[in-house]
Amino acid sequence: MKKLINAPDAVLADSLKGVAAAHPELTVDHANRIVYRGTPTRAGKVALVSGGGSGHEPLHGGYVGIGMLDAAIAGEIFTSPTPDQIQEATRVADSGAGVLHIVKNYTGDVMNFEMAAELADAETGVTVATVVVDDDVAVEDSTYTAGRRGVGLTVLLEKIAGAAAEEGQDLAAVEAVAKRVNASGRSMGMALTSGTVPAAGRPTFDLPEDSMEIGVGIHGEPGRHRVPLAPAASIARQLVEPVLADLDFTGAPVIAMLNGMGGSPLIELYLMYGEVAALLETAGVTVARTLVGDYITSLDMAGCSLTLLRADDELLRLWDAPVNTPGLRWGV
């Protein structure tokens, strides 16, 4: 295992030190492993709180800031944060207008966020609404989920719901737009190589030199099938087709994200997006906004994922609204 780390069990704590040093506009609670905005949630603004296992950077800590999250809770690598951590973030982030929990659909995350929401309500009177993201079309159930996994759409949802909260929409409205995003987006990923969890010290799964995993999860969970390594044009088809088969993306402006899994360089991600864009055009899908890069990763896994969101004027408006986070920034 070759990594830029000190000890395997110190990776998360050490990385949060770097986040704090690099981003004086954020506040890091090192004891509870929570990243907050540098200034408290303003009175009347709904707070957005998300989190999950680490190893998916910049998700979620990199999306804390104006126009996006108010707090992000970091679990250990590929491990849900605890209800205590989530409750603390919820309590601190709330300004009295309520909190939206954005939860990727993994059994541990869903359970712990639910428990934290109940505790927050019972102990501190914080009103919590929850959106569970389940955009991955690869599998119906998986190693760590009942139902579909939550993957790349989380990034788009945090941006759009964040903009709604920033402009003063109330909790019910922010929850509604978040659920509309979840209903309107789909993702599919693939891996060329396995990532390596530092504490394990070796790749999570074996993927021979001539094979790739289609439909892989962001923790290296098995996907739909293992197939021979293929050219980018073929890989693009294997991502685009299941996404388009699952939801109609024609007749609406689409936000597209071609995401890197952490170990694939940008030259390859752009190349993949070129193949994807050509297929989308042939299929009559109109892409209105695009992201290409590492937005939700799986440690050092080589590979990529595609996320499409069927948008409309309102969702595009919220997408284009100013955002100032380490991972997404424009307009400020």
Question: 300-316: b or e for each residue (b if 16 or more CB lie within 10 Å)?
Answer: bbbbbbbbbbbbeeebb
In sequence order, what are the beta bridge partners of 64? 69
Q: Are 69 and 63 in contact (CB under 8 A)?
A: yes
> Nearest Cα to 133, choosing from 184, 91, 84?
184
Q: Tokens for 305, please give them.
A: 């994922």
Nearer to a copy of itself, 147 or 274 (CB): 274
Residue type, 219: H
Q: How far is the CB of 12 from a copy of itself (least distance, A)?
A: 8
Kindly write down the DSSP assignment for every residue of 129-149, as one continuous string: EEEEE--B-S-SSBTTBSSPP
Q: Tokens for 173, please give them.
A: 């409205």
Residue type, 106: Y
Q: How far is the CB of 130 from a copy of itself (least distance, A)?
A: 26
Interaction residues for a copy of itself, span 277-316 (CB under 8 A):
277-278, 287, 290, 292, 294, 297, 299-300, 302-304
Among 53, 55, 152, 253, binds a copy of itself (CB under 8 A): 55
Looking at 23, 56, 60, 101, which residue is catalytic?
Answer: 56
Q: Does 271 bind a copy of itself (CB under 8 A)?
A: yes
Among 106, 249, 273, 319, binds a copy of itself (CB under 8 A): 273
> Nearest Cα to 90, choosing from 52, 53, 47?
47
Q: Does 270 bind a copy of itself (CB under 8 A)?
A: yes
**Binding string, residues 170-209; x marks residues near a copy of itself by CB under 8 A:** ----------------------xx---------------x
Radius of gyration of the chain (CA): 19
Q: Tokens for 238, please give them.
A: 């294997």
Nearer to a copy of itself, 200 or 332 (CB): 332
Q: How far is the CB of 35 from a copy of itself (least distance, A)?
A: 11
Residue 170 CA to residue 98 CA, distance in Å, equals 8
Among 132, 197, 258, 285, binds a copy of itself (CB under 8 A): 258
What's the distance, Cα to Cα, between the start and end of the chain in Å? 40
Is residue 56 flagged as an active site residue? yes
Among 168, 201, 251, 265, binds a copy of itself (CB under 8 A): 265
Beta strand pairing call for 286-293 and 99-104? unpaired
Interaction residues for a copy of itself, span 22-51 (CB under 8 A):
22-23
Alpha-carbon dihedral angle through residues 256, 216, 226, 194, given to the nearest 10 degrees: 110
Nearer to a copy of itself, 43 or 209 (CB): 209
Residue 219 CA to residue 195 CA, distance in Å, equals 8
Q: Tell me the window of 54-62, 147-155, 157-165, 169-177 that interacts with a copy of itself (CB under 8 A).
A: 54-62
DSSP E strands in 229-285: the ranges are 253-260
Interaction residues for a copy of itself, span 82-121 (CB under 8 A):
none
Looking at 23, 60, 101, 219, which residue is catalytic?
Answer: 219
Residues that bind a copy of itself (CB under 8 A): 2-7, 11, 14-23, 54-55, 57-58, 62, 192-193, 209, 212, 229, 231-233, 235, 258, 262-275, 277-278, 287, 290, 292, 294, 297, 299-300, 302-304, 324, 326, 329-332
